[in-house]
Chains A and B, each alone.
Chain A
């Protein structure tokens, strides 16, 4: 192969070599080809970056466009005259604690159905959400005079009509919506109940508060266990541990634990916490314990890096003025390493907050309609709630799932933002 004009002269004395002819057609062609390859390679790299970023954009955009709808709700203006219904409650009974029970017992639900029939025809009660009468109940609690005078209250409609009103629904629902819209009684508003209520079988009534509270309780347990243990282990390994086989075993097992698939931690939690220690199923305490075992190695690794970054001169100076090894570490090294440790902890906690698989293993996938109030109460967490809703057949849950994902992503973004802020604000360069 002819690689160029000077290959046949290599090895000869300089006087016999010919200079390279850069203008020769073969050289020019080869250079052009090489530059084209260079441009192609660069373009492929750029395409890879944009493609990856494009996937992220597609993911976020699809969640956002679908999820925003989950925070919206279609309502119908319902003219209701409770005075005509002769509810057996007095104005005094709807004030204070027994109000919910008194109104439910008085047949408010039937009264709402009557009002719907009177206003929009016989099939109208089927258009209302199961939670419609609760809206009326709350309105009465706010303003007991509603018991004596006619009024118009906006109440939520069923999932099918809700979807038909805001996008495209089944034909029957579309027809109903067309009729109602002609009368101008439908309105779309923000659904604050999504943030304050818990799981339900009716997609118009579901909310994420129960799951959010479960997540908060679980994260609390995780933080209280994983943070001290992780920091102490990091301090020991970095500052005191003698170089011997035991230390090596500890190090290897921590590094290995950080790479173990999360579902294995779920199996551990199932076998140890549930089947051996008989802790309650699907409770935040068990979820927190399991996630703590998973988060601890992350904190140890981040902590060790932060501690390593503290220069030895700090330790030498403290030792020189008479501090004991424990005082050196707790009074000088730890405060300086703390921002780095906190950054790592927040990132580990963010991972734990988004974790689903191990919690499925310990039974956190039950239908829980009441938010947990204690650590041993049955609970669910936000990612598991998302998983459960994604399995629902009812189309109304699609929006709710994406809306819950938005809430989860907002939390994760806030945590990661805090980590970045901490790193930038307190990071010291020695």
Chain B
């Protein structure tokens, strides 16, 4: 039985349990018991949950352990004796055999994989059968046991509500689980990387060319400093040079000067900039902006202006960030007490003087926090730089030269067909860890800045 079929069967059993228990509980409505502690539906839910929960928990645990069991069974077959010792080759033969056995691929690179494939298929089938039987048994047993407890004096509601609360708690724990998963997987792979390449060489090395990694000294061509500089240059300098003035001035104009009609139409229009998918921006940058920037570079006398310049990527990234800066600025300007604005206007200051000398200084922490968040978003942005920036890592201050970024390199490193143990692929996780740490730090600092500022006016 397929996994989906099994799920539907178990869900169907739960539904039957729900209906039967509800019908049975509905017959309790006799004066024999003075006071019910549960509605018929509660009895139904109780039986339904007891039917559904045990097989689901079992299947969740099973799906985590079954692959290991299947592999063990395959390793016990005589053909497995020919496998090479643990290492990359062994892993790749096993994964090929797994794909063959599951019918997901047609041919294999290794002959041994073809021999092991039937063993995989057999073991998989055997364990699938066991799982199906066990899941159905658990569903029946759970449902039957629960059904015997459906009595007029049984407090089904309390039990059901306890289950509901548990479900809600588990749902909110998934967020923690995701965070832990991200941190653990990044750190695990990064530790493997730092065993091959010293952290110092990776963080401060100035030479990045992953195409030619020397296996004896991988650190020599995996110095990520040019990437960090490129990311900072595109995301925090060029993009912010576009987004901060435009976003801030738009927010000021729309909140302080614009008529309500203009504001009602222009604010959602600008927010549309944030809703455009990044792949569209990337295409726009590569197709329209990059050639224009190159022409501009040539026109002002830079003959070697790149068609994959930092300026093109940064410019488009800045456009994407405008609504982000603008809405953060909007919020923090709106949070400035009206008394400060009115006081300044009453003293005879013009509107622009009030904004520049009273409201902006008061809103500054919020604006700065917003800019930090915008930077964190810009340096994590991937598609624009993947499509518009170059893959060559250079330490340069020239916006018309080509630069690369951390995110672009992560994509480039992981979309090749390299094996999963090389320094090259592991470097992507080390870059990911750095990116995660930096964006996390920026977010935390930004939130602290914003929070401290808000407290001072409330």
Find chain A residues with CB under 8 A from B246 CB.
48, 51-52
- The winner among A267, A268, A270, A365 for most chain B CB atoms within 10 A is A267
Does the CB pair B275–A232 fall under 8 Å? no
Q: How far is the CB of B201 from chain A (nearest CB, A)?
A: 22
B257 and A45 contact, CB distance less than 8 A: yes
- The digit string for A257-298, where 1 denotes a CB below 8 A from any CB of B, is 101111111011011100101101000000000000100110
B107 beta carbon closer than 8 Å to chain A: no
Q: Is the CB of A46 within 8 A of B280?
A: no
Evaluate contact between B254 and A383: CB separation under 8 angstroms: no
Interface centre among A59, A275, A376, A386 (most CB of B within 10 A): A59
- Residue of A with least CB distance to B322: A52
B76-84, B141-149, B162-170, B296-304 - the one binding chain A: B162-170
Complex contact A232–B172 (CB within 8 A)? yes
Q: Which residue of A lies closest to B319 (CB)?
A: A55
- Check A236–B169 contact: CB distance below 8 A: yes
Provide the B50-91 mask, 1 if CB < 8 A to any CB of A, else 0: 000000000000011001000000000000000000000000
Q: Report the separation of the CA atoms of residues A394 and B180 in the bound assembly, to the nearest whole angstrom.
A: 44
Q: Are B350 and A233 in contact (CB under 8 A)?
A: no
* Residues on B with beta carbons closer than 8 Å to the beta carbon of A56: 269-270, 272-273, 276
User: Total A-B residue pairs with C-beta atoms closer than 8 Å?
Assistant: 255
Chain A residues with CB under 8 A of B436: 260-261, 264
Closest B residue to A350 by beta carbon equals B275
For residue A293, give the distance in angstroms from its CB to the closest CB of chain B. Answer: 5
B215 in the interface (beta carbon within 8 A): no
Given A232-B168, A271-B185, A409-B276, decide whether A278 and B383 contact each other with a Cβ distance below 8 A: no
A390 at the A/B interface (Cβ < 8 Å)?
yes
B contacts with A, residue count (CB < 8 A): 93
A179 to B274, CA, bound (A): 48
Q: Given A52, A232, A357, which contacts B171 in the complex, CB threshold below 8 Å? A: A232
A235 lies within 8 A of chain B by Cβ: yes
Q: Mark B143-186, 1 if CB is under 8 A from A, else 0.
A: 00000000000000100110011011101111110110110011
Q: How far is the CB of A39 from chain B (nearest CB, A)?
A: 9
- Is B175 within 8 A of A250, CB to CB? yes
Binary flags per residue of A205-238, CB closer than 8 Å to B gives 1, else 0:
0000000000000000000000011101101110
Task: Give chain B residues whose Cβ lies under 8 Å from the Cβ of A158.
Answer: none
Assess the A383–B277 pair: CB atoms within 8 A. yes
B382–chain A nearest beta-carbon distance, Å: 4
On chain A, the residues within 8 Å of B355 by CB distance are 41
B172 touches A46 (CB 8 A): no
B343 to chain A, nearest CB (A): 18
Select the stretch in B9-17, B283-291, B330-338, B390-398 that faces chain A: B283-291
Whether A38 sits at the interface, judged by CB under 8 Å, is yes
Chain B 237-288 interface residues, beta-carbon cutoff 8 Å to A: 245-250, 252-254, 256-258, 266, 269-270, 272-273, 275-284, 286-288
Residues of A within 8 Å of B410, CB to CB, are 263, 267, 361
Given contact pairs A55-B273, A259-B373, A261-B381, A267 touches B169 in the complex (Cβ within 8 A): no
Instruction: Judge whether B250 and A48 touch: CB under 8 Å.
Output: yes
A interface secondary structure, majority: helix
Complex Cα distance, B178 from A260, in Å, reads 11
Whether A261 and B380, one on each chain, are in contact in the complex, defined by CB atoms closer than 8 angstroms, is yes
Q: Which residue of A lies closest to B274 (CB)?
A: A351
Closest-by-CB residue of A relative to B425 is: A270
Could you tell me if B176 and A249 are in contact, using CB atoms closer than 8 angstroms?
yes
Query: Is B204 in the interface zone, CB < 8 Å from A?
Result: no
Q: Which of B182, B323, B353, B410 has the most CB of A within 10 A?
A: B182
Cβ-defined contact, B283 with A390, below 8 A: yes
B439 touches A259 (CB 8 A): yes
With CB as the reference atom, state the residue of chain B lying closest to A376: B104
Chain A, 45-84, CB within 8 A of any chain B CB: 45-49, 51-53, 55-56, 58-59, 62-63
Distance in Å: Cβ of A29 to nearest Cβ of chain B:
15
The answer to whether B443 touches A263 (Cβ under 8 A) is: no
A2: interface (CB < 8 Å): no
- B contact residues around A408 at 8 Å (CB): 277, 280
| Chain B residues closer than 8 Å to A356, beta-carbon distance | 277-279, 382-383
Q: Which B residues lie within 8 Å of A354 (CB)?
A: 275-280
Q: Are A49 and B266 in contact (CB under 8 A)?
A: yes
Complex contact A326–B164 (CB within 8 A) = yes
Does residue B29 face the partner (Cβ distance < 8 Å to A)? no
Does A173 sit at the interface, judged by CB under 8 A? no
A203–B276 alpha-carbon span in the complex (Å) = 25
The yes or no answer to A15 lying at the interface (CB within 8 A) is no
Residue from B171, B323, B407, B447 within 8 A of A263 (CB atoms): B407
Known contacts A42-B257, A263-B382: A232-B278 contact under CB 8 Å: no
Report B-chain residues with C-beta under 8 Å of the C-beta of A256.
Answer: 179, 440, 443
What are the residues of chain B within 8 A of A35 when measuring CB–CB?
350
Is residue A111 within 8 Å, beta carbon to beta carbon, of the partner chain? no
Q: Identify which of A44, A232, A262 contacts B382 (C-beta below 8 A).
A: A262
User: Which chain A residues border B351 with CB–CB below 8 Å?
Assistant: 38, 41-42
Contact assessment for B322 and A236 in the assembled complex, using a CB-CB cutoff below 8 Å: no
Q: In this assembly, does B47 line the interface, its C-beta being within 8 Å of a C-beta of chain A? A: no
B414 contacts across to A, CB distance below 8 A: 267, 270, 360-361
Give chain B nearest CB distance to A321 CB in angstroms: 14
Q: Contact: A59 with B411, CB < 8 Å?
A: no
Interface contact B415-A365, CB-CB below 8 Å:
yes
Docked pose: A278 CA to B355 CA in angstroms: 57
Within A345-375, the residues touching B (CB, 8 Å) are 350, 353-357, 360-361, 365
Chain A residues near B63 (CB-CB < 8 A) = 277
Would you give the shortest CB distance from B280 to chain A, in whole angstroms?
5
Docked complex Cα distance between A228 and B170 (Å): 12
- Given A249-B176, A263-B407, A360 and B283 touching (CB < 8 A)? no
- Complex-state Cα separation, A235 to B168, whole angstroms: 7
* Cα–Cα, bound, A121→B254 (Å): 65
Is B428 an interface residue when CB atoms closer than 8 A count as contact? yes
| Beta-carbon contact of A267 and B186 below 8 Å | yes
Query: A139 contacts the other chain (Cβ, under 8 Å)?
Result: no
A124 beta carbon closer than 8 Å to chain B: no
- CB pair B277–A267 under 8 Å, yes or no, is no
CA distance A416 to B95 in the complex (A): 42
Q: Can you name the residue of chain A whose Cβ is closest to the Cβ of B175? A: A254
When chains A and B are docked, how far (Å) is the Cα of A253 from the Cα of B171? 13
Judge whether B387 and A390 touch: CB under 8 Å.
yes
7 extra A-B contacts, CB within 8 A, seeds A52-B247, A398-B287? A34-B353, A38-B351, A46-B257, A52-B319, A254-B172, A262-B380, A365-B415
Q: Which 6 A-B pairs have the closest CB atoms?
A: A261-B380, A354-B277, A45-B253, A232-B171, A48-B249, A271-B185
For this complex, 16 residue pairs linking A to B, each with C-beta atoms less than 8 Å apart, are: A45-B250, A52-B326, A56-B270, A233-B175, A236-B171, A259-B373, A261-B435, A261-B439, A262-B380, A265-B182, A267-B414, A270-B414, A297-B175, A356-B383, A386-B283, A412-B276
A residues adjacent to B (C-beta < 8 A)? 34-35, 37-38, 40-42, 44-49, 51-53, 55-56, 58-59, 62-63, 228-230, 232-233, 235-237, 240-241, 249-250, 253-257, 259-265, 267-268, 270-272, 275, 277-278, 280, 293, 296-297, 300, 324-326, 330, 350, 353-357, 360-361, 365, 376, 383-384, 386-387, 390, 398, 401-402, 405, 408-409, 412, 416
